[in-house]
Amino acid sequence: MTSGPATGLRPVVVPVPRPDVLGSLFVVLGGVMGLLQLALSWTYVVAGVGLPGSATAPNGWGIYITMRAGSTVSASWAIGGYAVIGVGIAGAALVLLGLAMLAPLDHRPFGLAGLVLSLAAMGAAGWWLARSAQLMGQNLSALFANAGPGWYLFLIGGAIALVGSVKALASG
């Protein structure tokens, strides 16, 4: 019987974590979209399109303020307003998570947090799609015909971040 390295055990190679640049890119891009929707116009100024009583093209922040002030109108208005600001807050958190993915760490916790935030943003967008006639006074076809860049960023930001989050979960 011999002692020392001749025991037949092989050394275990532990992979060193590397930055997840592609996952980070998608998560940061989705987060920036979630933030930009607060500043960019959701609709063009067209008669009958937009928030009731609004003479200007509303951006996401203006929609949130208007809906918060009119939240006594209906529960849908309250939820719609909080959905808009929620996507903005999720966007800020996604930007930070995406930047953290550039560190040589295990990316699965960041990917899981990004997954939850992006699914929440997609749920908020789904709420707006389901309630567009009640919230904006137009059906979906009219809303998309007159939609501004903020509306589209609101809708797709969560889906873009979802791609990066799944990438981070898959690659670790």
In percent, the amount of the chain with pLDDT more than 90 equals: 46
**Cα(32)–Cα(83) distance, rounded to whole angstroms?**
16
List pLDDT tens digits, range 81-102: 889 999 999 999 999 999 999 9
In a domain, 19, yes or no: no
Q: For residue 77, which amino acid is it?
A: W
Whether the CB-CB separation of 53 and 65 falls below 8 Å is answered with no
In a domain, 50, yes or no: yes
In a domain, 149, yes or no: yes
In a domain, 156, yes or no: yes
| 30 pLDDT higher than 60 | yes
**Cα(74)–Cα(134) distance, rounded to whole angstroms?**
10
**Cα(76)–Cα(132) distance, rounded to whole angstroms?**
10
Q: Could you list the residue range(s) of the whole structural domain that residue 106 is in?
A: 25-171
Calculate the average pLDDT of the chain.
84
